[in-house]
């Protein structure tokens, strides 16, 4: 064969391989294969090591005189205060909503903003399971997609590849308007609440929380506030733009919510298909 | 020399995900988004000095690492990075290596890496950001940032190359 033919075949094979690997490994897989989880755990561990020292270096420069020592202390105090505040906020949150949670620290996040994935330092050994919701003190952040033994990957709400939408309700006085959160408008920095009936009249500033009907999320977790209401293209439903209450840029501590009811539901739905298969045979 | 390059690239790889994130404008509330691609800068710089097979191998390994650790699915960066590295290798081999040629190669490498990655993400449905928004708000600031940061990376890679090359020549001629 000519050299150019071989090269062409190699390129075609590589593209086919790309499509294959992407379609096999994309999305929420629950648990990862062993080499992947070793790599994620290893990289996460190294990054959590230089989490603390670098922040104080940036805060205080590197001259070891009195002034910088002062600054260093000040930076440390600031950092501790910030940490303390964040943890306290988390505790308050816990009191308001008596849910069982696992507190965790963010180890790293993906550098590009076209897919939003963060990794936290708690894994299956601490009781984290796939599909568990993740919150900060200010509101819902996302959900666990993949779990390794010591780390777990979280998909933020801003991800458009978020799989099935989230059932959510707008708290409109005494009544509740049901909708489904699907997708994120990056230009307006708003989540999209679809399938809201035309008869409903949500107003700006009303709270949007997760619905009790969702099979993943426990009800009543704050998502955000109503920002804008529009008719969709077919003029049969409304699209509500929801300003998320949690910040998707700056977070250090997060909490993984353990809701016993939803966990049982998940287990049941996982067992169902295999049980059916057994009956057929 | 290769192992020093790989060690340096690993350091850049770790910086991308953790500490750099706190210094970038998006975490301070700016609408512009800067995506650090330090490893791409490093790999473009490496492609000036290493033979083709090592460039491809190292860029593939780092692409795969990026996919597993940061990416949404395996295959995207491990395809894109060797492509960009090969392009940079061909381009730098065509011209003699002045600094501005290196700069242009770096610019083209960064831009093509962003464009190809965005293309794959759109194709596979990982993102639905419109192209003009992604280009003006994400890519242009990121390419400028990566050019600025890429210059010291290029100088460091060159420094490692010159150091290690002369030492290995001495080792080859005198010690052996």
Q: Is residue A81 part of a domain?
A: yes
Residue A143 shares a structural domain with residue A256: yes
B138 touches chain A (CB under 8 A): yes
Alpha helices in chain A (DSSP H): 3-25, 34-49, 52-60, 66-96, 260-280
Q: Is residue A94 part of a domain?
A: yes
Q: Is residue A39 part of a domain?
A: no
Q: Retrieve residue A13's tokens.
A: 């094979």
Cα angle A118, B14, A157 (rounded to 5 degrees) comes to 15
The lowest-confidence range among A78-87, A108-117, A167-176, A224-233 is A78-87
Residue of chain A whose alpha carbon sits nearest to that of B136: A187
Angstroms from B116 CA to nearest CA on chain A: 13
Check B126 against A109: CB less than 8 A apart: no
Pairing state of beta strands A117-120 and A166-172? Answer: unpaired
**Structural contact between residues A35 and A142, judged by C-beta atoms closer than 8 angstroms:** no
Q: Is residue A23 part of a domain?
A: no
CATH code, A79:
2.40.10.340
What's the average model confidence in pLDDT over A29-38?
A: 82
> Mean pLDDT over all residues of chain A?
78
Q: Retrieve residue A222's tokens.
A: 């704050």
Q: Is residue A34 part of a domain?
A: no
B11 touches chain A (CB under 8 A): no
- What CATH class is the domain B2-175? mainly alpha
Angstroms from A21 CA to nearest CA on chain B: 6
Q: Is residue A280 part of a domain?
A: no
Q: Is residue A279 part of a domain?
A: no
Residue A77 shares a structural domain with residue A110: yes
> What's the structural domain count of chain A?
2
Domain extents for chain B? Answer: 2-175
SS3 A133: strand
Q: Which H helix or E strand runs over B93? A: helix B76-94
Residue A78 shares a structural domain with residue A215: no
Residue A254 shares a structural domain with residue A155: yes
Angstroms from A138 CA to nearest CA on chain B: 16
SS3 A131: coil
- The pLDDT value recorded for residue A9 is 92
Check B33 against A113: CB less than 8 A apart: yes
**Structural contact between residues A172 and A37, judged by C-beta atoms closer than 8 angstroms:** no
In this predicted complex, what is the ipTM? 0.78
pLDDT in tens, chain B (176 residues): 788 889 999 988 888 877 677 778 777 777 788 888 899 999 999 998 888 889 999 999 999 999 988 888 888 999 999 999 999 999 888 877 788 888 899 999 999 999 999 999 989 888 888 899 889 988 999 999 999 999 999 999 888 888 877 655 555 455 43
Residue A62 shares a structural domain with residue A135: yes
Residue A120 shares a structural domain with residue A253: yes
Residue A149 shares a structural domain with residue A255: yes
Q: Write the burial class of residue A114 (CB in 10 Å: 0-12 exposed, 13-18 middle, 19+ buried).
A: buried
Q: What are phi and psi of A181, to 5 degrees?
A: -80, 115
Q: Is the pLDDT of residue A42 over 70?
A: yes
Residue numbers of the domain that contains A235: 166-244
């Amino acid at each position: 064969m000519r050299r150019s033919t071989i090269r062409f075949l190699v390129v075609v094979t590589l593209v086919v391989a790309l499509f294959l690997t992407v379609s096999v490994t994309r999305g929420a897989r629950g648990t990862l294969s062993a080499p992947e989880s070793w790599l994620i755990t290893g990289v996460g561990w190294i990054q959590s090591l230089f989490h603390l020292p670098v922040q104080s270096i940036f805060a205080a420069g590197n001259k070891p005189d009195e002034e910088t020592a002062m600054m260093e202390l000040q930076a440390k105090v600031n950092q501790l205060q910030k940490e303390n505040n964040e943890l306290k906020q988390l505790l308050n949150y816990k009191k308001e909503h008596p849910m069982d949670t696992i507190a965790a620290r963010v180890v790293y996040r993906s550098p590009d903003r076209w897919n939003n994935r963060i990794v936290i330092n708690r894994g299956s050994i601490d009781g984290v399971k796939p599909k568990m919701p993740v919150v900060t003190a200010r509101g819902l952040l996302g959900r666990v997609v993949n779990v390794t033994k010591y780390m777990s990957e979280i998909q933020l709400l801003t991800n458009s590849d978020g799989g099935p939408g989230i059932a959510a309700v707008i708290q409109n006085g005494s009544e509740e308007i049901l909708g489904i959160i699907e997708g994120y408008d990056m230009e307006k920095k708003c989540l999209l609440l679809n399938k809201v009936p035309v008869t409903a009249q949500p107003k700006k500033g009303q709270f949007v929380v997760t619905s009790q009907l969702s099979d993943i999320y426990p009800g009543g977790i704050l998502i955000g506030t109503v920002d804008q209401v529009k008719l969709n293209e077919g003029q049969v439903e409304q699209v509500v733009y929801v300003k998320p209450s949690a910040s998707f840029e700056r977070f250090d501590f997060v909490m993984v919510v353990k809701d016993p009811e939803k966990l049982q539901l998940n287990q049941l739905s996982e067992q169902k298909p295999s049980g059916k298969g057994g009956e057929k045979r | 020399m290769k192992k020093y390059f790989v060690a340096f690239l690993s350091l850049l790889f770790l910086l991308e995900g953790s500490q750099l994130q706190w210094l970038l404008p998006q975490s301070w509330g700016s609408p512009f988004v800067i995506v650090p691609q330090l490893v791409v800068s490093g790999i473009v710089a490496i492609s000036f000095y290493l033979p083709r097979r090592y460039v491809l191998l190292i860029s593939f390994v780092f692409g795969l690492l990026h996919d597993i650790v940061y990416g949404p699915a395996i295959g995207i960066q491990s395809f894109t990075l060797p492509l960009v590295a090969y392009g940079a290798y061909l381009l730098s081999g065509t011209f003699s290596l002045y600094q501005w040629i290196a700069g242009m190669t770096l610019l083209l490498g960064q831009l093509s890496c962003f464009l190809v990655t965005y293309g794959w993400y759109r194709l596979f449905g990982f993102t639905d950001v419109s192209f003009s928004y992604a280009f003006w708000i994400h890519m242009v600031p990121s390419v400028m940032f990566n050019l600025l940061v890429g210059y010291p990376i290029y100088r460091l890679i060159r420094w490692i190359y010159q150091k290690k090359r002369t030492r290995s020549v001495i080792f080859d001629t005198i010690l052996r």
